[in-house]
Amino acid sequence: MTMVAALMATTGMASAEDVEVLHWWTSGGEAAALNVLKEDLAGKSIGWVDMPVAGGGGEAAMTALRARVTAGDPPTAVQMLGFDILDWANEGALGDLTPVAAAEGWDAVVPSALQAFAKADGKWISAPVNVHSTNWVWINKAALDAAGGKAPESWDELVAVLDAMKANGITPLGHGGQAWQDATVFDGVVLSLGTDFYKAAFIDLDPAALGGDQMAEAFNRLIKLRSYVDDNFSGRDWNLASAMVINGEAGMQMMGDWAKGEFLKAGKVPGTDFVCIRFPGTQGAVTFNSDQFAMFGVEGEGAVAAQAAMASAIMNPTFQSAFNVVKGSVPARTDVPNDAFDDCGKKGMADLAEANTSGQLFGSMAHGHAAPAAVKNAVYDVVTATFNGEYADGAAAAAALAEAVAAAQ
């Protein structure tokens, strides 16, 4: 008996037809989306054993995963991002979803930018459930109206709106001081200095771009943004920062479109209660991340069949619509109609298609789609240190970034 089977037998936790799902969807909006998935699987008689590990960006979840695999007891299905999927595939830890993918024609409907992380050595190794993107800003509509009413389209306009919100007595920027949240803001800041620059710095890891003048300017912008957060930002969870914008305590949040899930859960309506815009200066470009479910090695036909059934359920077009409408993301397939999506979702779908065609679609550094974890973590360290005032200026931070990324490779 394998250790997994022994554990199941003794605890009665899971049966062969169950999937044990490790994920980090623990906020209100995320839990609502997760329920759509749970109910869909329940309707197909696939049992669900929940393994939530809180922490946006999934760092804590990935640490928990490593511990479970090391103990010889991996969960059967795992939410995962970008390069982490490829790393686990390299270790030979992932199940092969090619039979179900081939039977259902995933090759033809999943964008190639996602396939780059969902396939290894020609085999499908994960099922993408969505496409999120990080270069969004979520603005309280009443706070924007009080600050002049015009959504900012450039860096200077952004600063003007933030200043007006400050003058109006609210916290201009709702933010949680956690490394991954600082890095999420920084995705947008770097992209606002040009798509060529984002690509050179974060995709190609060009030392000249990482340590040069434009990166110094990016860090100076980040330092400027730091002046708009409240005194209690440190350590705050992202969904609490969303709540500040939802209740008008803060003016805006720079966050991926999972934030929209929080607004919707609170009964808020895009265009009426809140406004979604691309990070000023990044219109037409998209920094994406895609949540995918990878399957870890299991024994027994029933368990493998349950994994394949889960993957198939995730890829169903009707499910992709229902799930992503709640999650705030957009479908991971190109053939899902946009009818059920609100205006922000429709914009997200159109932006993704346009950025893909125009060559302005890039993996998010903050969410593991630009570079492997070692590099991402090096970026996190310098970005967070900068946000917390550890460098004299942007130039010093850029020099530190170039050095940290070089050391991490």
Q: Which residues sit at the interface with ligand BGC, rule CB under 6 A?
A: 24, 30, 56-58, 81, 132, 258, 289, 291, 367
Question: How far apart are CB 257 and ligand BGC at their closest, in Å?
Answer: 9
As measured in angstroms, the least distance from the Cβ of 291 to ligand BGC is 5
Question: What residues have CB less than 8 Å from 392, skipping those under 6 apart?
Answer: none
Residue 176 or 394: the one with the smaller Cβ distance to ligand BGC is 176
Residue number with CB closer to ligand BGC (137 or 200): 137
Compute the chain's Rg from CA coordinates.
21
Place of tokens 């360290």: 381
Contact between 320 and 349 (Cβ < 8 Å):
no
Nearer to ligand BGC, 212 or 368 (CB): 368
Q: How far is the CB of 172 from ligand BGC (least distance, A)?
A: 22
CB of 56 to ligand BGC, least distance (A): 3
Do residues 326 and 319 touch, judged by C-beta distance below 8 A? Answer: no
3-class SS of residue 279: coil
Strand ranges, E, within 174-228: none
- 181 or 386: whose CB is closer to ligand BGC? 181
Look up residue 119 and give its two tokens: 């396939």
- Please say which residue, 76 or 79, places its beta carbon nearer to ligand BGC: 79
| CA separation for the pair 168, 149 (Å, rounded) | 13
Strand partners, 330: 131
CB 250 within 8 A of CB 230: yes
Rounded to an integer, what is the distance from CA 389 to the centroid of its chain? 26
What lies within 8 Å, CB to CB, of 6 at 6+ separation is none
Nearer to ligand BGC by Cβ, of 367 and 376: the residue is 367
CB of 321 to ligand BGC, least distance (A): 17
Work out how close the CB of 155 gets to ligand BGC at its nearest, in angstroms, rounded to a whole number: 25
Tokens of residue 218, six digits: 């990016």
